[in-house]
Structure 1
Amino acid sequence: MRRALLTLVPLIAVLFVSAREPSKSAPATATSPAARDRGVYHLAADAEARWIAFDLTPGNQIRFKMQLDGRDVTAILDTGVSYTLLAKASSAVDPAKLVAGGSATAIGGSVALGWMPTRSVALGGLARTGGGVTVADLPAIATGSASAVDLLVGADMLAGHALDIDYAAKRFRLLRSGRLPFKGESAPLRVSAERSVYESALTLGGRRLAPIVVDTGDGSSITVTAAGWQAADLKALRTTSAIAFGLAGPAVSGLAIVPEIRVGEMIAREAEVRIEPAGGFSQAIGTAGRIGSGFLQNYRVLLDPGARRMVLSRGPKADLPPPRSTSGLLIGIEKDRLKVLHVMRGGPAAASGWKDGDLICTIDGTPVTSGYSTSPIASWTAGMPGRVVTLGLCDGTIRKLELTHFY
């Protein structure tokens, strides 16, 4: 979600991909990513000066440009992905080099993987020669926008160095591990041997929850398991429902605003928390939840697993309360229309008969355009309670929706 005038867009997440051994039916040439050539990495002497500009997708992911085999590609910075992943539909895929086999655990289930060797990969001051990338379907909905990206840059590329993300200035850079370019509040950080992703811990309702995946590719804020939520004993808080999208499809979770969360030395007030159902994704991979980019974007962030620390420096939005939906609709952008992806439990939209899949073409008479996500009209989903919004469906039907607080 974004703050200020932007709408509550769906918290769409491209989440942890755990590479598994190939299935018995995979070709004999297929091997697990962990057993493949990892390539040779080089960090330039002037890497600190090589900032990489990015924009935040409507789903809150860090999107930027880099080079793969000398070709410019669009990428998402994703510390919740074990192995850098190339979209099967990308023009950077060379079918002659693609090896099928293996699978990944993702939100919604399991996805098939391939692998492709690469000559070179470069982002900012970091370059790799040799190695390869996993290959899988990567739909546009994974970024909450109409256009798909080519690449998810995972922990295999990033974890050997410190990652300095300046969300306020919309730039990041890679540094030598051990560097401390700014002051802030620290929390533990490691790359787990079991999952090969960034992990930390948090305290919710006085209960320490660990391990927590630190996932820059997850557009949501904080996610915890059903067991973690129960242990935190916050049942007095009102909850609703929300939806996220991973590589294997959608997943519905609970949603609440909690008074306080602690991440190491840092205390965050009024934080948004998603509650996965029992048997959900985090439980399935053996973790207690995730810290996503929807939370991290309130800070300047240093992720340095080599020094075993995450450092958070409060940005201008760190102490602002998170926006709350007052419409009860989570929507996706489809060029000149909005698609209802989820009708939130207990909200005004649910009470007035809205359904998943409804298509909206006008808001108070203003047509939806491709620039909707940065337009002032996008604020309506989290508008002032009591406001009545006139929504024009794409079939010509006109509906009125009164906004209200409901969680």
Structure 2
Amino acid sequence: MRMLTLAIVPLLAVLSVSARQPASEAVPEANPSGSTPGTSPGPATSPADRDQGVARLAADTETRWVPFDLTPGNQIRFVMQIDGRSITAILDTGVSYTLLADTSPAVVRRALKPGGRASAIGGSVALRWMPTRSITLGGLTRSGGGVSVAALPALATGSATAVDLLVGRDLLAAHALDIDYPARRFRLIPTGRLPFAGDTAPLTISSDRRVYESAIRIGTHALAPIVVDTGDGSAITVTAAGWRRAAPPGLPTTTAIAYGLGGSVVSGLAIAPEIRVGTLVARDTEVRIEPEAGFSQSIGAAGRLGSGFLQHYRVLLDPSAARMVLRRGDVADPRPIRSTSGLLMGVESNRLKVLHVMRGGPAEASGWQVGDLICSIDGQPIPRDYPTSPLADWTIRPPGSVVRLGLCDGTTRTLTLRTFY
């Protein structure tokens, strides 16, 4: 697990919509002026009325592994092709319709059409629609069809540079998706194949949300439906109501911040002693607790199971066969990274910006504020590769450690670290 992930700067990207209207299937909004800069005039068309394209798997698709790396926000990042152009993409089973960034060089401005709006974590996003000639991903090729187009900020992946595409349910769900997290590769294979054995859990595509869904159990309480979302860097996220029913008595909680396509969200944060996913039992799992009337509740879901959880396993997602298979890696039940500082930060060039001060932590007790800027740690300047540098571990050092933090205004503060959740 990397340093700038859930315990430090929690980042996620999920696009979905209300229970009545699946992701990118939001009711199209009429354009008052009749046109939008760079967009063909006319009303938005629903996804059902668009060309769906024809997708095929190559005969040798099982040998066509796609290598990937994990972003600082835990998402699966790789290279694929749209209309013969290589682009960067994220595998996102929480997106109903594949989404192209409006800043991507793959966008053909003259081909854009109005696409309405869709709900996303942090708010709603405006969509446009772009026809495509071909999309190639590993052994999968789709001819025709198209993609939704919207703003896709870098902050949603925790990287300095935004990716071009979120690959969603529309491209993936007809096939089995084999994600070999330990080997950092994935492939698309025919549904029904079982390339490895492991714990199993139910998996479906919901008829309304049109995303991958399963169920979990916390203690004696089952929570469903749970969106299985490879685009969400968190481990487990549940609604406030679900947590009240399922939370172990006396378990301490704090707060954290996350980023979706619609903006930032502050949630509760706890470490659950035990989570069950089908036949799998996972211990000491980080759980995000959404605020009342949060995103999951708004779409009629009980929560999400994200890449922060899945990354510890080899994962088979095969909704047509109604199953998810999880095979443990070499390290069973890895301990979650816990902040001992209570500061969640983003990197801005050669400095850190405080994005959230965690409730009950030493930083809150010391008077830290959102927006504070840090330019050095124990006398060392912030390096450009800070998210992956050893210096980034100061926020999770052992309780009792004292860290000297140089603010960008020239002052220095000390922070004594401790366990608080």
Q: Same fold (TM over 0.5)?
A: yes
Query: Partners of 1:231 and 1:57 in 2: how far apart?
Result: 33
- What is the aligned counterpart of 1:93 among 107, 118, 121? 107
Query: Partners of 1:295 and 1:360 in 2: how far apart?
Result: 30
* Cα distance, 1:333–1:5 mapped onto 2, change above 3 Å: closer
* 2:6/2:73 contact within 8 Å kept: no
What corresponds to 2:166 in structure 1? 152
- Give the C-alpha shift of residue 33 in structure 1: 2.1
- What is the aligned counterpart of 2:319 among 275, 283, 305? 305
Segment drifting more, 259-268 vs 98-107: 98-107
Given residue 261 of structure 1, which amino acid in structure 2 is its aligned partner? I
**Secondary structure of residue in 2 paired with 1:362:** strand
- Give the C-alpha shift of residue 5 in structure 1: 10
- Give the C-alpha shift of residue 7 in structure 1: 8.7
Given residue 208 of structure 2, which amino acid in structure 1 is its aligned partner? E
**Secondary structure of residue in 1 paired with 2:409:** coil
1:163 aligns with 2:169: no
What corresponds to 1:21 in structure 2? 27
What corresponds to 2:53 in structure 1? 39
- Give the C-alpha shift of residue 229 in structure 1: 0.5
* 1:6/1:378 contact within 8 Å kept: no
Given residue 72 of structure 2, which amino acid in structure 1 is its aligned partner? P
Segment drifting more, 211-220 vs 365-374: 365-374
What corresponds to 2:366 in structure 1? 352
Query: Partners of 1:262 and 1:116 in 2: how far apart?
Result: 41
What corresponds to 2:9 in structure 1? 10
- Give the C-alpha shift of residue 148 in structure 1: 0.5
* 2:30/2:43 contact within 8 Å kept: no
What corresponds to 2:384 in structure 1? 370
- What is the aligned counterpart of 2:286 among 248, 272, 297? 272
1:211 aligns with 2:217: no
* Cα distance, 1:77–1:373 mapped onto 2, change above 3 Å: same
1:187-216 Cα distance to aligned partner (Å, 9 max, x none): 000111101100000001210000000000
* Cα distance, 1:307–1:231 mapped onto 2, change above 3 Å: same
* 1:145/1:333 contact within 8 Å kept: no
Query: Partners of 2:146 and 2:5 in 1: how far apart?
Result: 38
- Give the C-alpha shift of residue 285 in structure 1: 0.3
Gaps of 5+ in 1: none
- Give the C-alpha shift of residue 339 in structure 1: 1.7
Gaps of 5+ in 2: 17-22, 35-41
Query: Partners of 1:282 and 1:179 in 2: how far apart?
Result: 31
1:50 aligns with 2:64: yes
TM-score (norm. length: structure 1):
0.97
- Give the C-alpha shift of residue 233 in structure 1: 4.0
1:82 aligns with 2:96: yes
Figure out how many residues of one structure are paired with residues of the other and give that number.
406
**Secondary structure of residue in 2 paired with 1:325:** coil
* 1:62/1:77 contact within 8 Å kept: yes
1:197 aligns with 2:196: no
- Give the C-alpha shift of residue 108 in structure 1: 1.5
**Which runs of structure 2 are paired with 1:108-257 in the superposition (5 Å)?**
108-257=122-271
- Give the C-alpha shift of residue 34 in structure 1: 3.1
* 1:7/1:381 contact within 8 Å kept: no
CA-atom RMSD in angstroms? 1.5
Query: Partners of 1:50 and 1:366 in 2: how far apart?
Result: 44
- Give the C-alpha shift of residue 4 in structure 1: 7.6
* 1:7/1:379 contact within 8 Å kept: no
Query: How many percent identity over aligned positions?
Result: 66
**Secondary structure of residue in 1 paired with 2:339:** coil
- Give the C-alpha shift of residue 64 in structure 1: 0.6
Segment drifting more, 362-371 vs 167-176: 362-371
Query: Partners of 2:336 and 2:74 in 1: how far apart?
Result: 14
Query: Partners of 1:404 and 1:13 in 2: how far apart?
Result: 26
**Secondary structure of residue in 1 paired with 2:110:** coil
Given residue 182 of structure 1, which amino acid in structure 2 is its aligned partner? F
Query: Partners of 1:242 and 1:315 in 2: how far apart?
Result: 28
* 2:3/2:392 contact within 8 Å kept: no
